Amino acid sequence: MPGMPTDGGGAIVPFRGEPGLGLPPPTVRPIHHGVAPPMFRIYVSWSSGNLLQVACLRAPNSEGAGGAEEVAGSVVEVNLGGGGSGGSESEEKIDEAEMRRIEYGSVPAFALLQSRKNALADAAALSRASVPDHAEWWQYVLEYSKTIGSLLGNADCPAAFMLEDPKAILKVREKPTSLRAAWELLEIFYVDKQLQGWLPERLVDWLADFDSLLSSMGSTTYSKLSNFQKKFINLQIIEDDPDYWNGLSAALSVGWLDTVVNMLRFHGSYQLDQMDNRETENGLVEAVVVLVSTMPRMRPNLPTGKLGQCCKTRPDFIKAWEKWRGQVTKLECSAFWIQCGHQKTRDGLKNLLRIMMGNIKDLTAATSNWLELFASHFLYIKPFTVGFEGMHHLAQKCIQLKPPSGTNGLTGLFIGVLSENPEVVLAECTNNFGPWLVTHAMELLTADNDYADIMLHEERPNLGGISLEELHRLVYAQVLCSHSLTWQIAPTYLSSCLNQGLGLLEILLLKQPIQDNRLVLKTLEICRLYELDNVSTNIMKVAGIYHWKHGRKGSGVYWFQQAHDKVHLDRIAQLLFERIGKSVTDDSFKQWEGLLELLGPDIGSAGGLEFLHRYRDFKRSLQQALDGRSGEAARKTVDFLMQLMRNPSTPQRFWLPLLHDSVELFNFKPNPLMDVAETTLLLKKLRELSMAKLRPDFSSNHLPSHALSSVKLALASNLAYAILEDP
């Protein structure tokens, strides 16, 4: 029977993928919730990004063995994403704050490149004949790559304010990260076309910068030298130590000429007290130093402190190379070796010469792994190796000579690049360097590679119709969404995903809590940027109801107005109207005056608010008239009163309170404020009110019982005075 719980797993819902179908087994992730069985209910809910919230409940009535101390239920938040930090080796994982700095820093560069890409595409669409300018695009990508590269740290700059130790073999530098190593590698191979001719030397430089990262593959030149450095301080006769010569040959084989020269100068024969006895020996050491320092290098320039002769063009290099090799051969055949008394010096120096001559056996012995051997080929055997095919072939040969003992993300990436296989490159990046690198490096892969371009942009039905590029961007965006400090930058990436990005962006924005006003403003700003008017209206409505319900009526009205939410505003206007109708005392007047101001005159189709505005004007004026006792203010108040009483939209239940408020005006001395006609109108209204009182639907006002009679009396006396005054 399908779906029966299996004996072993106890799964309620079995996985339908049969082993024979070639589907990968489902990933099972145990969650440590700390709730003892039997489990009663499990609730699951997606939070933002990759966060999943799981609530595990124990049967409420179960009598567990642990008694009261047992946990009744537990809520666990699980981050299903791999996290943003790159680095394949756990020991060099970039810490979260540093990764966030990189994430934030890379946003402007990414956005600029996308906008340039769109601008170029638009220009191409306008002038259909012309294709986008490739040269220009390549420059843009290079600029992007340099910007991102600079975020990952500068391998060349020494750690700040470090005093140079005279006995230091290796320069103290900022610790390189594999994220930077991977980025530079991709830049060298895919973007920097300007320096393509000098590719071998660039790889030698790359290895010099990042050799220390290859330690997971076994020993490296870097590790040999740093081990020797520790030993060095305690050594009496340095040239007697085999590690000295091993370090020298290793450093020379990978082209660290300055290190070699530096180390050779520590040779005992340089010491003043030994100069006389070891003259020939010292001469030989110095000769090697000169040869090492003048080694021809085919590269555009040499940074200060680096040794060698710089040859920019191939003919120049060939000439210098022939001459230099001639000198090396000459020194090797020199008669002075016989006079060199120190056996280890003689052997060590000769070994260095053989390395310089490109002896494969010695190079293989001197280097620590296949990548170092690969670099030494460029330096001493095949300085003109160009093209991916040739390099890949060479790499295969090096791997055969020095089989790798461990795996490393960087070497995997290297092989992927050389084998011209963007799928492998992408897979290596995904597995070893995290979604940040993948998302940003895709731009490098497609800079000038049509195959990678098609591979990344092809819409795939098995991915729900999205392309690989979009998939990786979405994955990265989800990682950003999973953290409250990075979700704000996710929209940049989501908006670059044409198929599913905007939908996810809407979900992201709608899920932001609205309790914090600053956060709401931030969310609304993002909505404005991406023209998500529906979403911003929704957020404003939600914020409005939240503030309204939590006692901040003014903020609530403000947000409803921003959202143009007529339904809520009308309802609030009605509420206000009803509340004021119940009690028109001076205390409540102050309370609703502000709200009334906020609501504005346009709200309220039933004319309710229009009435309330007039009523407010009347109340204000009345206050002034009673305080100041000036005839002018009193007359103005009467005008307001007459307007209110004449207006049919003034509800009947307000008549008596209005008149009662104005009793003092009716008794205004010495001259009556109202003429006969006005007073008669008010009396008529009073009579109408008395009739209405008999009807069952009449709502009584909370006025003193004598209110009606006092109004009547005041009006009567006013009428009397008015008749007397009437000309």
Residue ranges binding other proteins (CB under 8 A):
1-4, 13, 16, 29, 31-34, 40-41, 43, 45-48, 51, 53, 55, 57, 60-61, 68, 71-80, 82-83, 464-465, 498-500, 502-504, 506-507, 510-516, 534, 538, 541-542, 545-546, 548-552, 567-568, 571-572, 575
Residue closer to other proteins, measured from CB, 566 or 684 = 566
Residue closer to other proteins, measured from CB, 552 or 646 = 552
Question: Least separation, in Å, of the C-beta of 666 and other proteins?
Answer: 37
Residue closer to other proteins, measured from CB, 176 or 501 = 501
Q: Which residues are CB-neighbours of 170 under 8 A, at least 6 positions away?
A: 222, 225, 226, 229, 259
Helix boundaries (H) for 553-605 = 553-562, 566-582, 586-599
Residue closer to other proteins, measured from CB, 99 or 204 = 99
Q: Which residues of 595-604 are buried (b: 16+ CB within 10 A; e: fewer)?
A: bbebbeeebb
Q: Which residues are CB-neighbours of 13 under 8 A, at least 6 positions away?
A: 3
Question: Least separation, in Å, of the C-beta of 549 and other proteins?
Answer: 4
Cis ω before 38 (30° cut-off from 0): yes
Question: Least separation, in Å, of the C-beta of 68 and other proteins?
Answer: 8
Residue closer to other proteins, measured from CB, 32 or 167 = 32
Scanning the structure block, which residue is given the tokens 């509800």?
A: 651
- The C-alpha atoms of residue 491 and residue 333 are separated, in whole angstroms, by 69
Residue closer to other proteins, measured from CB, 78 or 381 = 78
Question: Least separation, in Å, of the C-beta of 660 and other proteins?
Answer: 29
Question: Least separation, in Å, of the C-beta of 572 and other proteins?
Answer: 7
Closest CA to 370 of 398, 393, 394: 398
- Pairing between strand 39-46 and 459-460? unpaired
Question: Least separation, in Å, of the C-beta of 466 and other proteins?
Answer: 8
Residue closer to other proteins, measured from CB, 502 or 713 = 502
- The C-alpha atoms of residue 548 and residue 338 are separated, in whole angstroms, by 99
Closest CA to 433 of 463, 406, 412: 412
Residue closer to other proteins, measured from CB, 60 or 403 = 60
Residue closer to other proteins, measured from CB, 54 or 261 = 54
Q: Which residues are CB-neighbours of 342 under 8 A, at least 6 positions away?
A: 239, 269, 278, 281
Question: Least separation, in Å, of the C-beta of 545 and other proteins?
Answer: 5
Question: Least separation, in Å, of the C-beta of 597 and other proteins?
Answer: 17
For residue 489, the SS3 value is helix
Write phi, then psi, for 53 (nearest 5 degrees): -105, 130
- The C-alpha atoms of residue 402 and residue 377 are separated, in whole angstroms, by 13
- The C-alpha atoms of residue 433 and residue 85 are separated, in whole angstroms, by 7
Residue closer to other proteins, measured from CB, 1 or 694 = 1
- For residue 398, give the amino acid letter: C
Write phi, then psi, for 304 (nearest 5 degrees): -60, 140
Closest CA to 473 of 447, 504, 436: 436
Contact 78, 51 (CB under 8 A): yes
Question: Least separation, in Å, of the C-beta of 169 and other proteins?
Answer: 41
Question: Least separation, in Å, of the C-beta of 570 and other proteins?
Answer: 9
For residue 45, the SS3 value is strand
